[in-house]
Structures are given as C-alpha cells and as structure tokens.
C-alpha cells in the first residue's frame, strides 16, 4: 500500500490526515473535507482487490445503494469515488469504538444493555431490508458505538461485493466466518434471514463474552455453523433471563424457516423481552413432533368371527323356535322392526345432529379488539387455537401496545383449526427520532441532516472559544435524545470567539515595568520596544502606539519608544542568607536613590520570588561619575543596603 497520509483525493477535496483502522478489504483514514470544512472517514480498497473488475463494479454499485440509506443507526455514506486506481468511500466519522472493542473491554454486557444495542442494530437492518439491501457481514467489528451509546452499523454493500474467490486471502477471512449463517458457510442462497442469524451470534457474544463456535481454521468454524448445536447462552451466564436466551436461540436456528422471518418480528420480541424477561412468548418449533405411527389390530376379521358365532347360535335357536310355530315369526318380525327403528334414530342423532352441533362449536366469531391491549388479545385468541401475527406500527394517536386494526374484522366467523392467521396492527407509539451528534459539524450539513429526519430546525448563533465559525456548538434537545417527528430542534451555530473592546492607557513617562503592568490591566499585549538594545529599567517612555484613549480590540499590541539615559547599568547579585528563616515564597522589593537627584525610585516593585530563585540579579542604573544607594526589602523588612558606583 502506498503512503496515503497527506494525499488529497476527490479533486483536491479530501485530505487524508491519519490512518484510524483497517480490515481484510480496506484501510480507513481520518480525512478533512476542504469543501465543507468537516472531518470524515474514508475507506480505501486494498490494492489486491482493485484488479478484480467484477468485485470493483459490485463494490461501487452496492456502496452507492447503501448511500441511499438514511437511519440514525447507520453510518452515513457521503461519496464514492476513484482516483489513480484508488477506490474509496467517504462516510460519516464516528467518535467512538467498535462493539467488538467494547465487548473485549467489559468481558460480557448486562443483558438489558445487550438488548438495547441489539434493538438499534436490528432497527438499522430493518431499514436496510425495506430498501432491499442485505448486509451479509453483520459482526461486532462493523458496529460502532458513539460516546453517547448510539450504535451505528457500517460496511453496508462491501460484504455483498465479496466474490467466491475473495472469501479468504493470505490466511485471513473477509467477513468473519465466526458470524456466518449456515447458508453462507455452504455457499447457498442468502437473504434477510442470514443477517438476523448474524445478529443472533453477535447478541450471543454480547451476553456471554464468547462466540458459540470456534475452531483452528475458518473451514472448521464454518462446519460447526452447519452441523453443531451451540451451548445455550443461559448455561454460560446464569444472569441471562429465559426470554433473552430464547430470542438468541431462535435467531441462530440452522434452518432458515425456523428463524425470525423479518427484522420486524425480531424487533417485536426484543421490545417485549424488556417487559417480560422470563419469556414464554417464543415458540420453539423443535419441541413439536408428528404423532408417532402405531400398529393396530385389524377390525374386519374380528367382526367376521363374531358374525359367524352369532350365525351358528341363530341357526340353533331357529331350529328350536320352528317347533314353536310360525306365529313366533310375526312377533320376532315386529320386535326386529322396532329395534331397527330405534337403532336408526339413535344413529341419526349420534352422527348427524351431533356433527352439526360440533361444527357450530368448531367456529369462532371475531370480536372488536381495536383499542385493547394487544398481548391480552393475542393470548385470548391463541387459547382458542388461532394463529396470531402482530404487526408493529408507529402511531401518534394510539397508545403503545394497543391494537390499531384487525383482520378479519369484527363479526367474521373463522373455522378453528384452519389456516387463517389473525393479523393485529399494534401501536409502537409515536415514531421517535434520535438526534444525532452534530457538534463541530458544518451547520448547513447539520440542518439538512435534521430536516431529512423529519425535524424542524431553528438556527441560533453564539460566540465560542472552542468551536470554529460556522460549526455546530450544540443542539437543543441534546444529541441522543429521542423526539417525535416534526419536533423543533434548535441548532446553535458558532460565531467564533467573542472580540471585546478596550481603551489604550497613557504610558508616556512610565518605565517599562510600569507600562507593562498598565498594558496587561487593559487586556492588551506588549508590542515592539525601541530601541531594542541599550534600554534600562529606569528609561522613560517618550512615544506610544496606538495613542492613549484609542478604542481597540482586546489583545492588540502596544508599541512604545524609550528615552535612553546616560546612565551606567551595574548588575548586582542578591543572595539569600540563612534561607531557613524564610518561607518557600517571599516578596522582594528594590529601591534606589541616585546621587544626582537624591529622589528615591522603585527599581523592582514588590515581586513574589521563590527561595529556589536565589541568587537574583538586578540591573542598577548609576549616573556617570556618581553613585546609587540600593535598598533591598524582603517581606517589607530591610534586608540589604549597599552603595553602588559605576567604577
């Protein structure tokens, strides 16, 4: 791989700053978009894939398709491009770590936290599936967690672009085989249910801290996905409730038709398990078997044998009765007719009337369930042997968990034991939108992002010492807050640091020490001093710029010119005698009285000096041919008196 840091892609737009990650197919760099003045992440395809024309074409097509996805739990893709045989994707830069790193840090997650993260992942995948995009490489490495705890799915499109010739390379795996579905491992047909299997494996790892299948080689792991039954997570972590265990085991069924059929179905159970952690609402189809076939004795032979026995007895009786005369025949005929009539009536009631009554009992009449608790309705219908499917839908008007609509409608008669499935539209409450983290984002892009989520944006402006001009300082409500659609969000845009005004003081006639103090008091800075050499502490200022009384911005430099005197500068060293008598910090003042004026002057004003700063040196101006009386005070007590001459 060529050295990429410092390179600029996209017609001088994206400047690569540093490498922040990488995998089997691509390297990821932090970059700055010069056009929008924001930081982005750029994923660059490894060179070994750029020669596979089919791979590159599918890579671009899928990346462009993924760019059409807009969801708070999906990393946004901004651009796809190619330059000098470099294929790259520009995407949202997420400030956080991968879910894999988070699992490694914590060992295993609390089950409620794991369910919350899984709900966010599943919500993202549900959005992708609705847009006919199958991820095919769901794993904790491709889930980013922001500092606010928001999960974001990345690498859409790349997994689908992998061909059979690029499943492995140089001993590594593209799209970790530890999270493959059995059909992926077999090279079979892959659909939305394959993503749900991978989510189940990731959830297994979150709550146990380990993977269900491991092996020495990728092939060994793939075979375990196809053949082996994993240890139930509840056996590895006793703190996992049964409901969570059942969701995981259903998601990772080897047969596609026994798993969750849609992300919406899985989401429904994930929301429900937070309220009912002990479960009981997930049906394990493996528990049901067909009724075993048993060998039973044939009825025909027994009936014939019985009939022959009756025939013999009847012949004997007839011989006896014949002797009694023909009149008995009439009596027997009447008795026989009565018996036949009775039997006929009984059989009619037994098989006709009772069948009609049974048919009536085998029917169920639908009631009006709209507005009722969905779980209660579902339990009641299932008690009657009916199949029920709950379709979770957002609603601003209907309370969460209540039935919004039903099919069949009220009054409809349904045959029990049939194939009709009751459809219940259940309210999830209002659709909540998570406000994304937009700090330090260009305010125009942030405004567009919020509006695309269906939120109303109001712009406010504030000064900021930390956030650059035109970037977002914060949102109100804060990032990570869940709000309804059409909620007003205040976007606070930075005006940069606030510039305050001040008045330039008059420093004419002051020494440098005095002037510096005046300048600092007005929040101004020291500018150019002339002459640059040869000046002393006692030299007076004869000119200043800007002039005194001028209103300027705080921080403006003040320049001044000194009147150089004809004095001699003598450097005197002041040493600390018996330092144990003093604290670590003391106040030192130096005063001088020149012989030519006999006017006392402060050479060094009260200054805090540490004990470790001694010895200190002061420059004493001495008039030519004269002397200076120097007095040194420590903590306002006379410490040293000395006559300094220029000789």
Looking at the fold, whether 226 and 107 belong to one and the same domain comes out as yes
Contacts of 606 (CB under 8 A, 6+ apart): 587, 588, 589
Look at 314-318, 419-423, 562-566 and tell me which has the smallest mean pLDDT: 314-318
Residue 398 sits at φ, ψ, to 5 deg, of -100, 135
Do 113 and 202 fall within a single domain?
yes
| Rg of the chain over all Cα atoms, to the nearest angstrom | 45
Could you confirm whether 297 is annotated as catalytic? no
> What local confidence, expressed as pLDDT, does residue 158 receive?
52
CA distance 485 to 430: 8
pLDDT for 402 beyond 80: yes
List all residues 6 or more positions away from 129 whose beta carbon is below 8 Å from its beta carbon: 192, 195, 262, 263
Among candidate residues 137, 155, 265, 425, the one labeled active-site is 137
Q: Please report, for the domain that includes residue 624, its CATH number.
A: 2.60.40.2560
With bands split at pLDDT 50, 70 and 90, how would you rate the model's confidence at 46?
A: confident
Best mean pLDDT range from 17-26, 69-78, 331-340: 69-78
Instruction: Over range 512-540, report the average pLDDT.
Output: 82
154 with 4: CB under 8 angstroms?
no
Q: Give the pLDDT confidence score for residue 263 in this predicted structure.
A: 94
Instruction: Report the pLDDT averaged over residues 314-337.
Output: 54
Residue of 288, 308, 292 lying closest to 300 (CA atoms): 308
Give the tokens for residue 15. Answer: 């400047």
Residue by residue, DSSP assigns 584-608 as SEEEEEEEEEETTT---EEEEEEEE
Mean pLDDT lowest among 139-153, 174-188, 279-293:
279-293
Q: pLDDT per residue over 486-522, tens digit each?
A: 899 999 999 888 888 999 999 998 988 888 999 999 9
Is 2 a residue whose pLDDT tops 90? no
Q: What is the signed CA dihedral for 637, 639, 645, 646, rounded to 10 degrees?
A: -90
Which is more confidently placed, 190 or 30? 30
328 in any annotated domain: no
Confidence check: pLDDT of 593 > 90: yes
Please tell me whether residues 367 and 421 are part of one structural domain: yes
Contacts of 386 (CB under 8 A, 6+ apart): 364, 414, 416, 420, 422
Per-residue model confidence (pLDDT) at position 338 = 60
228 and 166 inside one domain:
yes
Question: Which of 191-195, 310-314, 483-487, 587-591 is predicted with the least confidence, judged by mean pLDDT?
Answer: 310-314
Q: What is the mean pLDDT of the segment spanning 192-210?
A: 95
What does the pLDDT look like over 617-635, one tens digit per residue?
998 888 888 999 999 999 9
Q: Which of 281, 301, 325 is the last residue of a domain?
A: 281
Q: Answer yes or no: is 317 within a domain.
A: no
| pLDDT tens digits along 202-224 | 999 999 999 999 988 888 888 89
Predicted pLDDT at 419: 58
List alpha helices for 498-603, DSSP H. Answer: 512-521
pLDDT higher at 617 or 286? 617
DSSP letter for each residue of 25-63: SEEEEEEEETTTTEEEEEEEE-HHHHT-HHHHHHHHHHH
337-394 pLDDT tens trace: 566 566 555 554 444 444 444 444 567 888 999 999 999 999 988 888 888 899 998 8
Residue 578 half-sphere exposure, CB side, CA atoms within 13 Å?
A: 3
Residue 308 lies in a domain: no
Residue 319 confidence class, pLDDT cut points 50, 70, 90: low
CA 273, CA 200: separation in Å to the nearest integer? 15
54 or 117, higher pLDDT? 117
Domain boundary among 59, 92, 125: 92
- Domain hosting 50: range is 8-92
Any domain includes 298: no
Local structure of 497: helix, strand or coil: coil
Report pLDDT for 348.
Answer: 46
Q: Is residue 514 packed enough to be buried (19+ CB in 10 Å), middle (13-18) or exposed (0-12)?
A: middle
Same domain? 553 vs 454: no
Q: How far is CA 627 from the centre of its chain?
A: 78
Tokens standing for residue 22: 């990488």
What span, in angstroms and rounded, lies between the C-alpha atoms of 420 and 363?
A: 12
Q: Look at residue 196 in the predicted model and tell me its pLDDT.
A: 96
> From CA 592, how far away is CA 641, in angstroms rounded?
10
On the question of pLDDT at 306 being above 50, the answer is no
Say yes or no: 470 and 376 in one domain. Answer: no
In the three-class reduction of DSSP (H, G, I as helix; E, B as strand; rest coil), residue 164 is classed as helix
Structure tokens at 182: 């059995």
CA–CA separation, 463 vs 558, rounded Å? 26
Contact assessment for residue 243 and residue 276, using Cβ atoms and an 8 Å cutoff = yes
The CATH number that applies at residue 532 is: 3.30.10.20
- Whether omega before 373 lies within 30 degrees of 0, making that bond cis, reads no
pLDDT of residue 362: 65
The DSSP secondary-structure symbol of 285 reads G
Q: Given the DSSP bridges, would you call strands 585-594 and 551-553 parallel, antiparallel or unpaired?
A: unpaired
Please check whether residues 484 and 423 belong to one and the same domain: no
Range 284-307 average pLDDT: 39
Helices 263-275, 192-208: axis angle to 10 degrees equals 30
Residue 422 pLDDT greater than 70, yes or no: yes
> Which range (153-162, 254-263, 329-338, 530-539) has the least confidence?
329-338
Average pLDDT, rounded, for the chain: 82
Cβ pair 328, 321 in contact under 8 A: yes
Strands (E), 231-386: 363-365
Structural domain includes residue 382: yes
- Confidence band for 153, pLDDT divided at 50, 70 and 90: very high
Per the CB < 8 A criterion, the answer to whether 156 and 136 are in contact is no
- Give yes or no: residues 163 and 206 share one domain: yes
Count CA atoms closer than 13 A to 221's CA, side-chain side.
17
Instruction: Look at residue 239 and tell me if it is in a domain.
Output: yes
Q: What confidence score (pLDDT) does residue 477 get?
A: 93
CATH code for the domain in which residue 55 is found: 3.30.200.20
User: Does position 161 have pLDDT exceeding 70, yes or no?
Assistant: no
147 with 257, same domain: the answer is yes
Look at the chain and count its residues: 647
- 87 or 349: which carries more pLDDT confidence? 87
| Stretch (H or E) spanning 407 | strand 403-407
> Do the beta carbons of residue 483 and residue 430 sit within 8 Å?
no
Average of per-residue pLDDT across 53-58: 74
Total structural domains within the chain: 6
Residue 425 has pLDDT above 90, yes or no: yes
Q: Helices 99-106 and 192-208 sit at what angle, rounded to 10 degrees? A: 20
Q: What is the DSSP string of 554-566?
A: TT-EEEEEEE--S
Higher per-residue pLDDT: 109 or 21: 109
Judge whether residue 10 has pLDDT over 70.
Answer: yes
CA distance 142 to 100: 8
Statement: residue 400 has pLDDT above 80: yes
Whether residue 428 has pLDDT greater than 70? yes
Task: Specify the pLDDT at position 165.
Answer: 31
Task: Say whether both 488 and 463 belong to one domain.
Answer: yes
Residue holding tokens 């993260």?
Answer: 117
**More confident call, 292 vs 563:** 563
pTM of the model: 0.45
Pair (191, 257) in one structural domain: yes
pLDDT class of 286 with cuts at 50, 70, 90: low
Q: Is residue 600, in this structure, part of any structural domain at all?
A: yes
- For residue 180, is it within any domain? yes
DSSP 611-630: GGG-SEEEEEEEETT-EEEE
Structural domain ending residue among the three candidates 257, 281, 305:
281
In the structure, what pLDDT confidence band is assigned to residue 294 with cuts at 50, 70 and 90?
Answer: very low
**Residues 25 and 105 placed together within one structural domain of the fold:** no
Determine the distance from the C-alpha atom of residue 219 to the mean position of all C-alpha atoms in its chain, rounded to a whole number. Answer: 32
Categorize the per-residue pLDDT at 163 as very low, low, confident or very high, splitting at 50, 70 and 90: very low
């Amino acid at each position: 791989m060529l050295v990429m840091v410092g390179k600029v892609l996209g017609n001088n737009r994206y400047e690569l700053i540093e490498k922040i990650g990488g995998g089997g197919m691509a390297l990821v760099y932090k970059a700055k978009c010069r056009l929008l003045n924001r930081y982005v992440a750029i994923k660059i395809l490894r060179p070994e894939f750029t020669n596979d024309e089919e791979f590159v074409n599918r890579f671009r097509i899928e990346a462009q398709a993924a760019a059409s996805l807009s969801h708070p739990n999906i990393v946004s893709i901004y651009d796809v491009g190619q330059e000098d045989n470099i294929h790259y994707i520009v995407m949202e830069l997420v400030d956080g770590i991968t879910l894999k790193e988070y699992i490694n840090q914590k060992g295993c997650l609390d089950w409620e936290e794991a369910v919350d993260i899984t709900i966010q992942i599943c919500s993202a995948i549900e959005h992708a599936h609705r847009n006919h995009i199958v991820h095919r490489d769901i794993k904790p490495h491709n889930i980013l967690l922001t500092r606010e705890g928001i999960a974001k799915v990345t690498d859409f499109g790349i997994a689908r672009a992998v061909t059979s010739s690029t499943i492995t390379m140089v001993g590594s795996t593209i799209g970790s085989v530890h999270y493959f579905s059995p059909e992926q491992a077999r090279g079979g047909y892959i659909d939305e249910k394959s993503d749900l299997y991978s989510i189940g494996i990731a959830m297994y790892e979150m709550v146990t801290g380990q993977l269900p299948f491991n092996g020495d080689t990728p092939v060994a792991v793939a075979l375990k996905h196809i053949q082996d039954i994993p240890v139930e997570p509840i056996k590895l972590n006793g703190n996992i409730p049964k409901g969570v265990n059942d969701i995981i085991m259903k998601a990772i069924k080897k047969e596609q038709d026994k798993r969750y059929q849609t992300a919406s179905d899985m989401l429904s159970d994930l929301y429900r398990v937070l309220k009912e952690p002990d479960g009981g609402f997930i049906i394990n189809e493996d528990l049901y078997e067909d009724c075993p076939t048993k060998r039973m004795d044939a009825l025909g032979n027994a009936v014939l044998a019985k009939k022959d026995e009756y025939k013999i007895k009847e012949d004997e009786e007839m011989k006896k009765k014949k002797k009694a005369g023909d009149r008995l025949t009439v009596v027997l005929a009447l008795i026989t007719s009565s018996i036949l009539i009775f039997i006929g009536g009984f059989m009619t009631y037994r098989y006709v009337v009772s069948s009609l009554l049974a048919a009536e009992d085998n029917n169920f009449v639908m009631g009006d369930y709209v507005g009722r608790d969905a779980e209660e309705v579902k339990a009641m219908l299932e008690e009657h042997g009916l199949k029920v499917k709950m379709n979770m839908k957002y609603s601003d008007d209907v309370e969460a968990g209540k039935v919004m609509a039903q099919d069949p409608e009220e009054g409809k008669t349904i045959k029990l034991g049939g194939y009709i499935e009751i459809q219940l539209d259940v309210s999830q409450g209002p659709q909540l939108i998570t406000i994304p983290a937009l700090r330090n984002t260009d305010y125009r892009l942030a405004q567009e992002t919020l509006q695309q989520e269906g939120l109303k944006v109001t712009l406010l402006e504030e000064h900021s010492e930390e956030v650059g001009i035109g970037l977002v300082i914060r949102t109100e409500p804060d990032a990570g807050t869940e709000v309804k659609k059409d909620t007003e969000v205040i976007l606070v845009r930075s005006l940069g640091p606030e510039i305050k005004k001040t008045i330039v003081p008059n420093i004419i006639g002051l020494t440098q020490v005095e002037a510096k103090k005046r300048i600092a008091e007005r929040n101004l800075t020291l500018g150019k001093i002339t002459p640059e050499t040869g000046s002393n502490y006692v030299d007076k200022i004869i000119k200043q710029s800007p002039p005194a009384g001028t209103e300027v911005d705080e921080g403006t430099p003040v320049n001044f010119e000194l009147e150089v005197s004809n004095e001699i500068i003598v450097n005197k060293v002041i040493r600390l005698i018996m330092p144990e008598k003093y604290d670590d910090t003391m106040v030192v003042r130096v005063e001088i009285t020149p012989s030519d004026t006999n006017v006392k002057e402060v050479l060094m004003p009260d200054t805090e000096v540490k004990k470790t700063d001694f010895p200190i040196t002061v420059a004493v101006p001495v008039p030519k041919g004269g002397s200076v009386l120097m007095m040194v005070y420590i903590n306002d007590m006379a410490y040293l008196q000395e006559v300094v001459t220029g000789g």
